[in-house]
Structure 1
Amino acid sequence: MKRFEEKTISSTTIYKGKIIDLRVEDVLLPDGKSAKRELVDHPGAVAILAITDDKKILLVEQYRKALKRSIIEIPAGKIESGEDKELTAIRELEEETGYGSCKFTYMQSFATSPGFANEIVHMYLARQLYKVENPAQGDEDEFIRILECTIEEAEQMVLEEQIYDAKTAFAILYAKKLMEC
């Protein structure tokens, strides 16, 4: 066994949901001892840094039950079973903002909570935006307010904790660097 690897002895799924599955694994540690791991299985998600021609970032505000508050984020969503990541990003941008993009570019992927979840977010940059005539409708239980803001306004929202999630803070740092070029 490798120095930091844990070998799974047994795995039990304790919940299968619409968005996540939960499982408990018994693992063998590198020192020979055993431990339990509570893990969340997630199909992955996309996030979109959408920048208008006048250098504004498209953001969405929505209530997040897990946090018990409304936060401002970049558009994002879960990858549906068998769906291509880029097509998910194109769909989510349209559903959440009513915009499409002529220039869609993959940025990078990252783990959100690697201590207990396998969710990977795939981030895309959307430029040359256009308003979609009849945009696809989002989830019926999703209530969203769309915002356009400058990089300076977005940075202020981070400081005021209106922007409170890592993917959006990361996207703002990326956007700032882009706009400096």
Structure 2
Amino acid sequence: MKKFEEKTIHSTEIFKGKVVSLKVDDVLLPNGKQSKREIIHHPGAVAIIPITNEGKIVLVEQYRKALERSIIEIPAGKLERGEDPAVCARRELEEETGYGARQLTYIQSFATSPGFANEIIHLYAAKDLYKIEEKRELDEDEFVSIIEVTLEEAEEMVKNQQIYDAKTAFSVLWVKLNEM
């Protein structure tokens, strides 16, 4: 048994959507008591830190219904079933920014909300960018605008909560620590 492992006694699927599903698990706790866990299953995602040849970070602004506001973030997108994260990263970069990358470097993967969801984001840095001649189309329900900022501007955006999501705040810190 793993330290503090919770054994699933019973699992009930509550909802199955196009992107996520929700289940409720009855679990046996390490102390022998039982509890319930509501868990969202997500197929995983990628996020990309695009850095221009001038050293600017390419961000996108889009409305996020769950937050009821627009936020500025790095390009990101959901993995398709069985899709290689690097392939997804290139697709999302092209769709959302109109840029391709000659250099795509894997940084790391991390859990976004481990208290209730199993989503893992695979983070990449994209450098040696070039404009795509025929930009890929955004998803039909996706509307974004592009913003290119310096590292200092991005840090200020984190401070004033224009950059409000964890993957983008983490990415700004990563760029700063790696002197991109």
| Same-fold call, TM cutoff 0.5 | yes
Match of 1:70 in 2: 70
What are structure 2's unaligned runs of at least 5 residues? none
Q: Secondary structure at the match of 1:179?
A: coil
How big is the shift at 1:83?
1.1
Residue 2 (structure 1) shift? 3.7
- In the TM superposition, what are the counterparts of 1:19-168 in structure 2 within 5 Å? 19-168=19-168
Render the CA deviation track for 1:58-110: whole Å, top value 9, x for unaligned.
Answer: 00000000000000000000001121110000000000000000000100000
Note if contact 1:50-1:126 (Cα within 8 Å) is conserved in structure 2.
Answer: yes
Give how far 1:178 is off.
2.2
SS of residue in 2 equivalent to 1:170: helix
- Contact 1:2–1:30 (CA under 8 A) maintained in structure 2: no
Alpha-carbon distance in 2 for matches of 1:21, 1:136:
28
Q: 2 CA distance for matches of 1:36 and 1:14?
A: 13
* RMSD over equivalenced CA pairs, Å: 0.9
Question: What is the deviation of 1:135?
Answer: 1.6
Letter aligned with residue 39 of structure 1: I
1:3 CA displacement: 3.5
Post-superposition, which runs of at least 4 consecutive aligned residues in structure 1 deviate over 6 A? none
Count of matched residue pairs: 180
1-structure distance, mates of 2:84, 2:56: 27
Aligned AA for 1:131?
Answer: K
Distance across 1 between alignment mates of 2:57 and 2:120: 23
Give unpaired runs (5+ residues) of structure 1.
Answer: none
Task: State the percentage of identical aligned residues.
Answer: 66
